[in-house]
Chains A and B, each alone.
Chain A
């Protein structure tokens, strides 16, 4: 008696001898699915991965995770239109996670603390020429350098950065932030030749093993508007470039901006900052059809910019701008109405699109041009071996850079954004690396998405997004100070912890807790869980109650198991030491599901009941598409 536990009088056997795993028709397995944020990122980032690090205050680890993909966290954290947040599953619960703001926090933290990256790859001795020091070119240079190649970047500008410097106003992207992130790339050993306009590509390429052309769309498109004498008309690209150079054009007090894209918003808001009291955007369609992003538009409206919807400029004469009202036809296309209106303006800024100057490629053997863009293959290589192109001058997105493209082949034309360019640069770097090493480049394989329907959102607390502080409108319109503030540590941490961790286990212990059969083993912090298939009955509760959709049921290979049972010589034990699959049925003491003939009082009921159980099991397994054993 003394060796028995307290109050135990009978020597008993444990039910652990009963391997209930043999009941199973479907088995739960842990899976990792691609979250929608990662699916949507044109740069190929997986925000969920680095948010996971932020959640445990691993800011540097999170930043390094970003840096494996994107060398501009502080820039992208400001200027990206965050398609990740548009796709974020949390947006369907309360509000999307502020991924962009957390990325900016990490980028700023890295600059503040001086975190840097180093290249561990041995020098390859191969030389790559990158033409254009914009986001695509610098991203390519960064990744090529990390891979051990010798990289030279040539740009005709006074300063590196391309459109990040000359297209995006300082109130959206402060120059010290841009300078710091570019300096980090240069410090890796990238050679930067500024004020160097490449005109003869074959001659310059002779010293290099591969060339990446990423000169961007630097020319403001003109439209044919009759303009009389004295009309002051300039294009937005030129205007923004001169503002960035510190030599803003004299626009006067009343400025009309023609166009409806993000550049039109930048031009109108910059015009206010260089002295215009009145900035009017003329756009031929309606607000819901405007290509400018909602955030840019609303910030512009906050700053007192007005918009003339459904209007086109038909004539400019002196300080008079003639505007024709439009209406949308059935296909949503604007049609003239013949009604006119006059605006008075000291200057008109055209923001009606940008074009690339591709003259340096026009004489190169094999390079094909499609209108204003360069024809490239899926690996961004032009028709000329070793010459690659990317950024705003190609119309396709790189399948190498971003699963967003690999997974969503219907995406016809990429947006011309910094984020897209960074992704193109990375894709080009990996293609160039493969080319230099004589390998085929490998596209990112499409992966199963972690859609909202896979989540069990019950377990997530309600928590609305953190709002980043902003400058007051009065201070905004008079200075080029940054408009949107950053998050501090506690708000960034809060925001990261709002991440639902779609498709990735974050060790919430639900599977371990909800298993009625104790069939899940908890392996310890960071190690996750393991399923004990000796006891797992395959009920699927762990899968149903997993908040993140990081588990799924897969059919057992029922036929294979049965065949092994018949063929095996040890009386029906499967190779894994699994208990008998059918033998238990023949043994009355080893009934299947509970309640076989204990208190039923008669064989008739027992037979009916076991028929009921069989029907239930059959129906259930059919409903789930599983196999009936």
Chain B
């Protein structure tokens, strides 16, 4: 083991920070002076993945831009829990207009800044999966097509949580929502529907598309930092488990996100100009069942009778992702 560098430390690069690591090697979230772009007192549920993901992303973007950042927000949980007038949890310049027009508003903000000659100020737009894949998709596609200088971040919690957990175009198959109840022969959301927005974004050939989760902070921060080095339309899709809508324990938010990637159900990768350039490989392979078991929205797959047919179909999705993105470190072992 003499080849190991001496700075090896228990937790290496997986933890947020470490007392013995050089500050430059710690994550931005370890910094006692981090921006805390989304501060305390917001009304997100206990263990909210979206609140966590939004702070991770915006703190990293604030760091990358030296605080010269404007944020445009679509309607959704993120907007509702953070800004019940007259209070706000945002510690960044922040603008909310409508549910579906955040990409257009952000494109306008970027154009206005450019017109004022204030190119150093960067624009970030953010929305939930409903505002991104359904309601805002037209505006978003236009923003991609025009290659507006905006980083658009989708916090994907796989349904309309704010209004009571209705299905969205990002809801996975078999998941129970208020509008896809667990009844009948094919309980929960249908197979074969829904939208793969990272693939749609890649199809626009924009400079940068990436996926990430709240379970891998360092990967997420690196992607935000890289995105801010680029100009033009960029898209970041962050998986943010929702304890309320997913029926998971509030303490399991990060664990669920981790299992989503380690089971292969949520591939974490990055792409430039439509081509995949990097993949975060599975470190400790988990079964899809481990992932599904933690979530009440899949309980009907195990109770009252076990639905092996549905489980097999979900497993096939994971296998497909693993094959498509090369998620295993040693494919021959699979």
User: Could you tell me which A residues sit within 8 Å of B by CB distance?
Assistant: 5-8, 12-20, 23, 55-56, 458-461, 463-467, 490-491, 493-494, 497-501, 506-510, 512-519, 522, 524-526, 532, 534-535, 537-541, 543-545, 547, 553, 589-595, 598-601, 605, 608-609, 612-613, 616, 620, 623-624
Contact = CB atoms under 8 A, between A and B. Distances in A.
Contact of A539 (B9, B163, B253, B255): B253
Nearest to B7: A497
A501 B18 CA distance: 13
Contacts of A595: 77, 80-81, 161-164
Nearest to A12: B88
A490 B217 CA distance: 30
Interface string B1-34: 1101010111111111111100000110110100
Contacts of B52: 514-516, 541
A48 B16 CA distance: 22
A194 to B, nearest CB: 44
A491 B2 contact: yes
Given A501-B10, A539-B47, A616-B244, A17 B16 contact: no
16 contacts: A12-B88, A15-B43, A20-B41, A55-B10, A56-B20, A460-B12, A461-B12, A463-B1, A466-B1, A490-B6, A512-B16, A512-B29, A539-B47, A540-B46, A592-B43, A605-B163
A33 B199 CA distance: 47
B82 interface: yes
Contact of A526 (B2, B19, B51): B19
Given A12-B87, A490-B6, A516 B249 contact: no
A509 B26 contact: yes
A15 B161 contact: no
Contact of B217 (A464, A507, A513, A522): A513
A16 B254 contact: no
A15 B1 contact: no
B82 to A, nearest CB: 7
Nearest to A507: B19
Nearest to B247: A616
Contacts of B263: none
A613 B40 contact: no
A594 B81 contact: yes
Contacts of B11: 459-461, 508, 547
B204 interface: no
Contact of A537 (B1, B38, B46): B46
B249 A623 contact: yes
Interface of B: 1-2, 4, 6, 8-20, 26-27, 29-30, 32, 36, 38-49, 51-52, 55, 70, 75, 77, 80-82, 84, 86-89, 93, 99, 161-165, 217, 243-244, 247, 249-255, 258, 284
Given A12-B88, A15-B42, A17-B87, A508 B18 contact: yes
Looking at chain A's contact residues, is the secondary structure mostly helix, strand, loop, or mixed?
Answer: loop
A539 B162 contact: no
B250 A541 contact: yes
A15 B32 CA distance: 20
A513 to B, nearest CB: 3
B252 to A, nearest CB: 7
Q: Which of B39, B70, B284 has the most CB of A within 10 A?
A: B39
Given A17-B41, A517-B51, A537-B46, A509 B80 contact: no
B20 A464 contact: no
B1 A539 contact: no
A491 B2 CA distance: 7
Contacts of A507: 17-19
Contact of B164 (A517, A522, A608): A608
Contacts of A15: 39-43, 82, 87-89
A517 B77 contact: no
Given A513-B27, A516-B51, A544-B252, A13 B86 contact: yes
A15 B244 CA distance: 22
Contacts of A543: 251
Nearest to A8: B93
Contacts of A593: 43-46, 81, 244
A540 B9 contact: no
Contacts of A609: 163-164
Nearest to A523: B32
Contact of A5 (B20, B27, B93, B284): B93
Nearest to B13: A461
A497 B162 contact: no
A530 B305 CA distance: 46
A14 B46 CA distance: 20
